[in-house]
Structure 1
Amino acid sequence: MIVGSDKDLRAIADQFSIDDPTLPGGPAPGTRPPPSPAEILKAAEGLHMPQDLSKWSGAVAEEDLRAPEGVWPANVSGGDDGTGLTVATDVLTNKPYERVHILLIPARHGWEVPAYLRYGDWNACPPAEYHVAMLRDWHARYGAELVGLNGDTMNVRVARQPRDRAAALALAREQYRYCPDVIEQGVESVAALAAGLMHEKWWFFWWD
């Protein structure tokens, strides 16, 4: 799993250790430890996405997801590369990092990785079991593979894009529920996101 720069690796490590009393930088000894990867994966088995996002207490209510449907763009940029592997790129210079870190994780499937990293459960970013369940569902439908992530970003590459506008719009609405900022601080409308999903093989998610 590609996790980006030295700073990005530290962010991943901080998220992993912050609630673990057995690790340096964690809470006081005696604090209940966080769930194990096996426990997170078990919790994910009972989730059906995206509808079960509403079970998370931190989820944005559907009535507060107010991005406009928008008009289908006349010209859609993208293609095979799309947003690409952004976690390996310096956002200030738009150039690849001279060095990136790759984690070797004992997961059977790429969609299990958030469970091993205890990824998420802050601000609008769902807990790890919700990431696992969402990525598992998209893997089954679109061949989606989690390739890179850092402290607040995921890069997912897909084998199959939505086949028509209706499917693309439905997928865009799913992604909006999962990661509101993909529209609200990104492409600004459901239609714009959907159009990109039909033409690109990279998906980008970012949580503030």
Structure 2
Amino acid sequence: MTFSLPQSLPSGRGVPADSPVLWYADEIRYAPLLDMWTRAQRQQDITGLRPILCYTDDDHPRSLDLAEVTAVDLETELEQGWREYRRRQLARLAAPPEPMDCPEDVEPWEDDPGAPYDRWPGLAPATLPASGADPDEAARSALAHLLRHGWYDTAGASLGLVAAARSADIPAVIGWRAEAPLPLFCALLRSWEDRFGARVLAAIGATLHVSVACPPRTQEQADLVALEHLLTTADNIVNDPPTPFPRYAASLIDAPVWSFWWD
């Protein structure tokens, strides 16, 4: 594959070298990173390259075949995941409480009542089509916020350009390394792209940051979206430590960035 790179980029390299699907900028400078990302994004329909933030030393294996993503029956797989989640939830609620063995200066984890559904509620309704929001503009604003006020992991990140037809396919194309169920997760990203104007901003180590043009506005919407997040099995939602479902759902209201990581 031959890259048609945007202008005014620092030196970089294609990965893998023999048939690149990802181009890394060698030079890592915090100050112009947003400007470089924005210029690349504005030219993505011409170049066919979509920008992300990434670490230049991340080891990406072969691309995931996008046919595996297309083959996912999203709602069926999520419903199956919900049924297993619900089974564990009911078993936990029925079990006698175990005493918490915590040091005196450590607060015990909050009790988690779980998702407020006794049957599969279906996918969260789409909010993007009627909103008039521009997902690419929302992505630029979200990335600016992430770089200026956000996560420690962006400090050592560089610009990457990915030969992907749509933003949701970026993790599959670059062979993103994480313990995520990648075909299902990329199918969800495609659905979030269509329903909420999601865009992949950064794939840094085992963490993925996603901008959202039309996040949930109400608690009812947020509960449905939070359940989809929970069913990704991301560790920051279910394990690290487990966040009580109502609190996690409330954090999604008007949130312009969704983040997921797997240990």
Please tell me whether residue 206 in structure 1 is matched to residue 256 in structure 2: no
| Residue identity matched to 1:9 | T
1:168 pairs with one of 211, 218, 222? 222
What corresponds to 2:16 in structure 1?
Answer: none
Out of 69, 86, 101, the position equivalent to 2:114 is 69
Aligned CA distance change for structure 1 residues 55 and 68 (closer, same or farther; 3 Å): closer
Structure-to-structure mapping, 1:8-27, within 5 angstroms: 8-11=55-58, 14=59, 16-17=60-61
Q: Does 1:85 find its partner at 2:146?
A: yes
Residues 55/180 of structure 1: CA separation in 2 closer, same or farther (3 Å cut):
same
Unaligned runs of 5+ in 2: 1-50, 93-111, 117-140
> How is 1:104-123 mapped onto 2 (pairs within 5 angstroms)?
104-120=161-177, 122=179
Q: Residue 22 of structure 2 corresponds to which residue in structure 1?
A: none
Q: Secondary structure at the match of 2:227?
A: helix
Contact 2:178 2:262 (C-alpha < 8 Å) held by counterparts:
no
Contact 1:3 1:149 in 2 (8 A): yes
**In 2, Cα distance between equivalents of 1:68 and 1:115:** 34
Counterpart amino acid of 2:169? Answer: E
Task: Show CA shifts across 1:126-151 (max 9, x none).
Answer: 12x22320100111111111111112
Compute the displacement of 1:187 (Å): 6.7
1:47 aligns with 2:94: no
TM-score by length of 2: 0.52
Task: Establish whether residue 3 from structure 1 lines up as the match of residue 53 from structure 2.
Answer: yes
1:52 CA drift (Å)? 1.7
Larger RCO, structures 1/2 (Cα 8 Å, 6+ apart): 1
**Contact 1:81 / 1:200 at 8 angstroms: preserved in 2?**
no
Tell me if the contact between 2:208 and 2:259 (Cα under 8 Å) persists in the aligned partners: yes
Q: What is the alpha-carbon root mean square deviation over aligned residues?
A: 3.4
Identity %, equivalent residues: 25
Structure 1 residue ranges (4+ consecutive) displaced by more than 6 angstroms after TM superposition:
none
Q: 1:180 to 1:105 in 2, by over 3 A?
A: closer
Structure 2 counterpart of 1:140: 194
Larger Rg: 2
**How many residues end up aligned between the 2 structures?**
163
- Could you tell me whether the CA contact under 8 Å between 1:120 and 1:126 is conserved in 2? no
Residue type at the aligned position of 2:195: R
